[in-house]
Structure 1
Amino acid sequence: MTGEGSSGAQRPSTGGEPPVPAEAAPPAGTASSPSAGARSALPVERLVTAGQGFSQPQYTDNFYETVGGHATFVKLVDAFYDGVANDDVLRPMYPEQDLGPAKERLLLFLEQYWGGPKTYGEQRGHPRLRMRHMPFRVGPQARDHWLQHMRAAVDSLGLAPLHEATLWDYLDRAAHSMVNAAD
């Protein structure tokens, strides 16, 4: 390539096209218009072929992986059940002395729901949350206790605001949908 300003100067190409001679190329940063009556030249940066220069935003990626995968959901479930263990309203709803099996079920459900392993469905079938909670009297007071412990658990994760809001929105709606009795 010859020095700048010489008659043999060429502009570098983009996208694998051959170099364009400087005298035939539009000014840097613009595209030539096809006719005198056409719109004025647009910055080249705005002329992007569909699909080029676009990457999918992080919030549409797999939520499970984005927030930390298995470790994050274990932390969430452990923190939640730490609160449930000493809750006089919620603890009686768990027939097992050991909360371990309940923790495992919630962990597997949440992991599958948010894009992780499909173990819950393989072991237990469709979640059928309302049906599975029907044997228990879930009134507004139980819902509020559940939400209190789950809020503390979500807060313990330190998620990015968008991820925290996404997770909390689901959990809040799920808790309200489980109410099957008046207090």
Structure 2
Amino acid sequence: MEKKLFEKTISEKTIFNGRIIDLVLKDVELPDGKTSKREIINHPGAVAIIAVTESKKIVLINQFRKPLEKTIIEIPAGKLEKGEDPLKCAKRELEEETGYKPKEIEAVTSFYTSPGFADELVHIYFTDKLELGEVNRDDDEFLDVLEVTLEEAEALIEKQLIHDAKTVYAIQYLKLKGGLL
């Protein structure tokens, strides 16, 4: 961390404690000595899984997203429980949402979704070794499972049916790996 860019927290106040996020207002001292306010969303983090079937299809879900007021197509993903191991969460979420269990799974990367105002870190995993398990979705979770080729996924991006960063990242990752060999 570069000390010359550091913002010192002077005070903080929790504005909202929710089931998924907390909103915190921080007063900070800027590097030039002036002060400012930062609205920060604290999130426990999430996982997302790039899953490819034996027939070389990408497993996706179609789900309504209330903040967008529309459905979008995404790779399977889910929120970490406080203190939960991301690998364990990835295996659980993939099976709960799609009915597929990974026989093998590997970490790909992690990234911050919106570091300007949130601390959410998403851990991305990859598997192309799947077996059937059991769907066990949350009571408030309604979605359709899709299996598409890499070319079909690219067309969904062009049509903005795939419209989120983690899924676009997943498709690019598969392309860079040489497709679904």
Normalising by the residue count of structure 2, what TM-score does the alignment of the two structures yield?
Answer: 0.28
Give 1 or 2: higher helix fraction: 1
Give 1 or 2: higher strand fraction: 2
Normalising by the residue count of structure 1, what TM-score does the alignment of the two structures yield?
Answer: 0.28
